[in-house]
Structure 1
Amino acid sequence: MEVKHELENSLLVDDDGRTRRTGTLWSCIAYIITAVIGSGVLSLAWSVAQLGWIAGPVAMLCFAVVTYVSVVLLSDCYRYPDPVIGTRNYSYMDAVRVNLGKTQTCICGLLQYLFMYGIGIAFVITTSTSMSAIQRSNCYHERGHNARCECEDTLYMLIFGAVQIVTSQIPDFQSIEWLSVIAAIMSFAYSFTGFGLGFTAVIENEMIKGSITGVPASTGTKKLWLAFEALGDIAFAYPYALILLEIQDTLKSPPPENKTMKKASMIAIFLTTFFYLCCGCFGYAAFGNNTPGNILTGFGFYEPYWLIDFANACVVLHLVGGYQLYGQPVFAFVERWFSEKFPSSEFVNNFYDIKLPLLPAFHINLFRICFRTAYVVSTTAIAAVFPYFNQVLGLLGALNFWPLAIYFPVEMYLVQNKIEPWTRKWMVLRTFSFGCLLVSIAGLIGSIEGIVSAKFG
């Protein structure tokens, strides 16, 4: 066992001393799709059902446009003060710090890492429901669709948590490109499956179910809460602003990183919107008022059971990578902070090479093992206490949508481009931000009401 005080850097480094960036347009698209197409896609049919045939698809298209506008604004903040030749900002918080100052950086950091932590909780919930769905699908196939096929989600949460404890030891964001590619492939697989099952069900029904106003509710107030919660779910399914700059930092240049990011985002958002519309609309068309909260685990579909199993297995594999995509920035931030705070601590800073027979050498750090394990354990525990799929997604989507995907990108763009108050562009961007704030508040209210009703109702 060999002790080292720091990781050895690659001989290939950029002019800023960091490992040379090798990311391309296609690896960037893979990262984005991994980040965007996740558990949110599974709730879109339910969201369309709550909003109806007009408001549902329109809402998804609007969120796609808003997300791309956010990308355009934020990608120019990767370098400061010039978006092409300025100094790099390696993370979202770095960009906020140089543009907006220390106070807003603290607020941004709190929101960003809270949301990433919440994403981990949501992924644990989604994975456990998908794994449970595989077990129930096989049970229904063997014993009939009316059989009582109960299973315990907590066990599957623990299994997923154990897997994440291992994969969380991957050193850094740059090292998970292969995992992101696999996860992106899995995203397409279960999105296509959801779309195909919905399309097939519409053909078999020989009719399109649903209505202009969506699923009726017992009262007008309840309908409003459900519509707000649906907006939160759609908001969760789109924005990836909080890790956009981390993804952009993997890109090689030339061409300029912001140009590649905008192009990759346009392609990725177009593809994801197409899948979202297909999954959401065909799911609602197939089941109408009976549309389940999770299109692959709510058992609107029973057969072919092996296809249901395959799609849910793809969800699980995708979320193994998705969890790391959102977890690695948190790991990097905490570990960097502790390293700077305790530079003489061997527990925090020492690395050890451990060689096992027939395996490559492992480069481990005791603090990394302890912190990352505790992080995974805590997300798993909270998911077990609040296992409410649609409500948790809506809450996270509403919390993330305005502050991280809209407010900070708009404010940084205004500062970096020195846009004067009350000019036309200033008014447009402020109005845009305020409108998104109202949507975010609506989604937050609806999701909180849903969680309270599910837990105590």
Structure 2
Amino acid sequence: MGVGAGDVESPLLHALPAVRRTGTVWTAAAHIITGVVGSGVLSLAWSMAQLGWIAGPLAMLCFASITLVSTFLLCDCYRSPHPEFGPARNRSYLEAVHTTLGKSKAFLGGLFVQVGLYGTSIAYVVASDTSMRAIQKSNCYHKQGREAACEYEGTLYILLFGAVQLVLSQLPDFHNIQWLSILAAIMSFAYSIIGFALGFAQVIGNGYVKGTIAGVTAYSAADKLWKVSQAIGDIAFAFPYSLIVMEIQDTLKSPPSENKTMKKATAIGIVITTFLYLGCGGFGYAAFGDKTPGNLLTGFGFF
């Protein structure tokens, strides 16, 4: 649906041309799943191991609920002043903050957004480095045995990852490259389902479920507190997608109103994501117990 006579674009984007919006609840749900299911899923088994069989699933359900409620609130900020009839559209998170709370709050919000993006970028760089070194170590162990000194420097992979990001960021109309979105969706589902399936197969192979109610036994109370805090942080990192809610909602056609469609898509996306997370985290912990690795797929590759 194009921008009609009753639509008013935000002053921040008044120079942008009218766009044709054709998104549905299912395309939005697919974007949500692709955006949420990232590298964080690979550490959920370790997080589950630190928290145990009760606190681990409860923490995931808690953060899933928080994400659901906060996203529902954001969905009503896409149009202003009325969440359904607008007429102005807010195409990004910062634009919604600017329209709703004013310029000074938008500046403060922008600061937090940039810090969040910086932290997320670091997490993905570290995850790419860890994954590439894990592939090399896994191949080395399979060829030379578990006693081999298979250690590799990660600087090269960090530089390569950064170079790839620089190249991709220069592609014209990057946000509309359909094949890249499809590839990202396939990859998100692939390593989640692989981790899920490998954990399930390992539990069947073991013949019993490992793990305890209290989680991994730590050397001291301080060590346990630190690992539990890190586990909760990993779970919290794996769920939110507030920075891309508005961009996804801006692809939706209307009627029905965009906020209603986006809320349905959010519910679908969060349910599927939580199911994958509980499966990967639960079966990973059940397969390895106290020896659950920080990266689920590297754990299966090594052992």
Aligned residues: 291
C-alpha distance after superposition, 1:31-84 (max 9, x if no partner): 211211001101101111111110001110111111111111110110011111
Aligned to 1:72: 72
Q: Give the distance between the partners of 2:279 and 2:23, measured in 1 at CA.
A: 30
For 2:58, the aligned partner's letter is: V
Higher mean C-alpha deviation, range 112-121 or range 280-289: 112-121
Aligned to 1:51: 51
CA contact (8 A) 1:197 1:301 kept: no
CA contact (8 A) 1:136 1:150 kept: yes
Aligned to 1:108: 109
C-alpha distance after superposition, 1:350-381 (max 9, x if no partner): xxxxxxxxxxxxxxxxxxxxxxxxxxxxxxxx
Aligned to 1:291: 292
For 1:215, the aligned partner's letter is: V
Kindly report which structure 2 residues correspond to 1:187-202, keeping only aligned pairs within 5 A, or say none.
Answer: 187-202=188-203
Q: Give the distance between the partners of 1:25 and 1:61, measured in 2 at CA.
A: 23
CA contact (8 A) 1:170 1:176 kept: no
Aligned to 2:121: 120
Cα displacement (A) at 1:259: 1.5
For 1:78, the aligned partner's letter is: Y
Kindly report which structure 2 residues correspond to 1:28-427, keeping only aligned pairs within 5 A, or say none.
Answer: 28-86=28-86, 87-172=88-173, 174-297=175-298, 299-302=299-302
Q: Give the distance between the partners of 2:155 and 2:195, measured in 1 at CA.
A: 25
CA contact (8 A) 1:84 1:256 kept: yes
Q: Secondary structure at the match of 1:189?
A: helix
**TM-score (structure 1 length as normaliser):** 0.61
Q: Secondary structure at the match of 1:81?
A: strand
Unaligned regions of 5+ residues in structure 2, if any?
A: 10-16
Q: Give the distance between the partners of 1:28 and 1:248, measured in 2 at CA.
A: 7
1:283 to 1:145, Cα distance in 2 relative to 1, 3 A:
same
Identity %: 60
Cα displacement (A) at 1:13: 5.2
Give the number of the structure with larger relative contact order, counting CA–CA contacts within 8 Å between residues 6 or more apart.
2
Cα displacement (A) at 1:25: 2.4
Cα displacement (A) at 1:171: 3.5
CA contact (8 A) 1:124 1:160 kept: yes
Unaligned regions of 5+ residues in structure 1, if any?
A: 1-11, 304-457
CA contact (8 A) 1:44 1:234 kept: yes
* CA RMSD in angstroms, aligned pairs only: 1.7
1:100 to 1:173, Cα distance in 2 relative to 1, 3 A:
farther
CA contact (8 A) 2:137 2:302 kept: no
